[in-house]
Amino acid sequence: MINEIVNVFGQVLTDPFSITLLFFGVLLGIVLGALPGISSTMSLAVLLPVSFSMNPEHGMIFLMSVFSASVYGGSISAILISIPGTPGAIVTQMDGYPMAKQGRAGEALTYAVLASGFGGVIGWILLILIGPLLADAALHFRSPDFAAVTLFGLCMLAYATPDSTYKALVAGVFGLILATVGLDSLTFIGRLDFGNAYLQGGISMVPVAVGIFGLAEVLKSIEFGKKKLEVITAINRLFPPWSEIKSLWPMAIRGALIGAFVGAIPAAGSAIGVTVAYAQEKRMSKNPEKYGTGIPEGIVAPESSNNACVGGALIPLMTLGIPGDSMTAVLVGAMLIHGLRPGPQLFVERLDFVSLIYVALILAIILTTILALLTIRFIARILDAPKNILMTGITILCMVGSYAVRNSTFDVMIMIIFGFIGYLMQKIRMPVAPVVFGLVLGPLLEENLRRSLIVSGGDWSVFFERPISLIFILISVLVLGLPIFSRSKTQQ
């Protein structure tokens, strides 16, 4: 694997188009991630169609650079506006914004970018080390095991969703049903298409993702009565004293390790990782009361964790084909569109492609650190851009991107419908990510479920006879049952 990675490094660094894609991808990712109302998932979803015409390698280089950079970008709006641009920046604002209000916005942003870069590298190293081992183990998986792992991923998503496991489950099942619309892949019999020729082709994941993550946010931000945001645009000194930066290494390392391991849990997401990292540092601190007042420690640990989650989330994606979070769910969609299914077989058949993803990630991390430091002042100005300009631009991108999938206005209609559904779901506090997860994982789950039953002659005990599938099924039942159990204990 290392040899392959070195080879791919050389190929990418000597290809001007790849370098250009990295550069623009990182720049776009930082800007889009920084803009409030545009999350990294939305950035990926909206830019996903742009990668269609590229070959898979260039497409993935572009998307990986947007992915990695936008995760950092969320911390910029967290620090300057107190609105996290991405879920992983939720905790950064707790100390980042107070520090910015004290006139130390530049230092806060620098702490964030350095911690992000460091965390990203740690996450990448773990991905390199653990990925091949897990992929090797997963090569022994059979259909029942894959079905159980997919079910586990969906249950983990439901469990990890704040507010309501129950609602996340409903959304996930809804997504799974959407995945069954159209021609069945095994028998080519139409299902749930109501005789509609367009529905027979199935519901494409791209317009749904663009609608749910992109358009829904646009609709939310243009509601009647929404106030203009106040942005801190004055950025004075950028670099804090070196002695201060040096003293924060232990926090960065701890945050990165927490982030990488949490990110590796399917569907856990960076929000959990950063929260755990922040809480851990506060607990270990000699002055916990200072957290929340604008101290560097409150920025470094969560930011390091946030970007380490990127590498961590790629572990289940690349080795098992299970997205680690909503962003990697969109990446799965991108790979599927290019005819590549993530999973252990990819390590066997296309080790070069797997290596490319690893190389793209580390180059994106390095480039993000450099470009962010160079362009922070400029990006702070962009945050003040008028909402009407931003939102109309994003809407047009959503429309065109959805149209680009199959040159069909039907996909645009799907995007609009799901954009509105996503907006309403947010209104009733129903999580939207499980819908896309269900749509992405549904075919995998059904294919393996039915194949298992065909081989076993309709005997369902096949899922309980194999130890791997039994373990994953038991864990799935446990994570779904835990919220119910803990709630009834609280009521007692």
Partner 1 sequence: MYEKYFENKKDLICGLTVIAFTLIGAWGIVTDDYLMEEDYGADPGPSLVPIMLLCLLGLLGIHMTTKACYNILKNSNRVTKNPNNTDNLLAYLIPLTFVCTMFFYAWIIEIIGFIWVTLGFTLLWIFSIGIHDNGRPTKKEILLYIVYSVTMTLFIYYIFVHLIMVQLP
Q: Establish if 321 lies at the interface with partner 1 (CB under 8 A).
A: no
Rounded CA gap, 353 and 161, in Å? Answer: 32
Chain CA centroid to CA 253, Å: 22
Helices 249-264 and 297-320, axial angle in degrees (round to 10): 30
For every residue of 72-105, DSSP letters joined together read HHHHHHHHHTS--SSGGGTTHHHHHHHHIIIIIH
Judged by CB, which is closer to partner 1: 9, or 420? 420
Q: What angle do CA 320, 42, 408 make, to 5 degrees?
A: 90
Size of the chain, expressed as the number of residues it contains: 492
Judged by CB, which is closer to partner 1: 296, or 333? 333
Judged by CB, which is closer to partner 1: 112, or 215? 215
Give the range of 191-199, 292-300, 340-348, 471-479 binding partner 1 by CB under 8 A: 191-199
**Burial (Cβ within 10 Å: 0-12, 13-18, ≥19) of residue 228:** exposed
Candidate residues 287, 293, 409, 486; the one interacting with partner 1 per rule CB under 8 A: 409
Terminal Cα distance for the chain, rounded: 54
Q: Establish if 197 lies at the interface with partner 1 (CB under 8 A).
A: no
Candidate residues 99, 416, 439, 462; the one interacting with partner 1 per rule CB under 8 A: 416
Cite the DSSP H helix spans in 248-343.
Answer: 249-264, 270-284, 297-320, 326-337
Report which of 462, 485, 481, 487 is spatially closest to residue 148, judged by C-alpha positions.
462
Q: What angle do CA 46, 258, 77 make, to 5 degrees?
A: 40
Q: Establish if 295 lies at the interface with partner 1 (CB under 8 A).
A: no
Residues 137-166 that bind partner 1 (CB under 8 A): 166
Write down the residue that tokens 């961590």 correspond to: 312
Residues 38-97 that bind partner 1 (CB under 8 A): 49-50, 52-53
Report which of 361, 364, 263, 265 is spatially closest to residue 312, judged by C-alpha positions.
263
CB of 354 to partner 1, least distance (A): 26
Q: What angle do CA 17, 20, 23 make, to 5 degrees?
A: 150
CB of 388 to partner 1, least distance (A): 4
Is the Cβ–Cβ distance between 275 and 144 less than 8 Å? no
Candidate residues 19, 134, 238, 413; the one interacting with partner 1 per rule CB under 8 A: 413
Give the range of 170-178, 267-275, 302-310, 315-323 binding partner 1 by CB under 8 A: 170-178
Residues 204-223 that bind partner 1 (CB under 8 A): 215, 218-220, 222-223
The dihedral of CA 266, 272, 274, 277: what is its sign?
negative
For every residue of 350-365, DSSP letters joined together read -HHHHHHHHHHHHHHH
Give the range of 12-20, 286-294, 350-358, 428-436 binding partner 1 by CB under 8 A: 428-436
Rounded CA gap, 123 and 116, in Å? Answer: 10
Candidate residues 1, 56, 130, 180; the one interacting with partner 1 per rule CB under 8 A: 180
Write down the residue that tokens 């680690």 correspond to: 324
Judged by CB, which is closer to partner 1: 181, or 301? 181
Is the Cβ–Cβ distance between 299 and 251 less than 8 Å? no
Give the range of 37-45, 255-263, 351-359, 405-413 binding partner 1 by CB under 8 A: 405-413
CB of 230 to partner 1, least distance (A): 14
Q: Establish if 488 lies at the interface with partner 1 (CB under 8 A).
A: no
**Burial (Cβ within 10 Å: 0-12, 13-18, ≥19) of residue 225:** exposed
Judged by CB, which is closer to partner 1: 50, or 301? 50
Rounded CA gap, 241 and 107, in Å? Answer: 9
Judged by CB, which is closer to partner 1: 133, or 400? 400
Judged by CB, which is closer to partner 1: 190, or 344? 190
Candidate residues 5, 177, 279, 382; the one interacting with partner 1 per rule CB under 8 A: 177
* Strand partners for 191: 182
What mask, x for binding partner 1 by CB under 8 A, covers residues 381 to 400?
Answer: -----xxxx-xxx-xxx-xx
**Can you read off the two tokens belonging to residue 370?**
């450099």
For partner 1, how many residues bind (rule: CB under 8 A)? 66
Candidate residues 189, 286, 461, 491; the one interacting with partner 1 per rule CB under 8 A: 189
Q: Establish if 441 lies at the interface with partner 1 (CB under 8 A).
A: no
Q: Establish if 186 lies at the interface with partner 1 (CB under 8 A).
A: yes
CB of 402 to partner 1, least distance (A): 9
CB of 427 to partner 1, least distance (A): 7
Rounded CA gap, 73 and 35, in Å? Answer: 8
Residues 233-272 that bind partner 1 (CB under 8 A): none
Q: Establish if 231 lies at the interface with partner 1 (CB under 8 A).
A: no
Q: Establish if 457 lies at the interface with partner 1 (CB under 8 A).
A: yes
Rounded CA gap, 154 and 167, in Å? Answer: 13
CB of 20 to partner 1, least distance (A): 12
- Residues forming the site for partner 1 (CB under 8 A): 49-50, 52-53, 166-167, 169-170, 173-174, 176-177, 180, 184, 186-187, 189-194, 215, 218-220, 222-226, 228, 386-389, 391-393, 395-397, 399-400, 403-404, 407, 409, 412-413, 416, 419-420, 423, 427-430, 445-446, 449-450, 453-454, 457-458
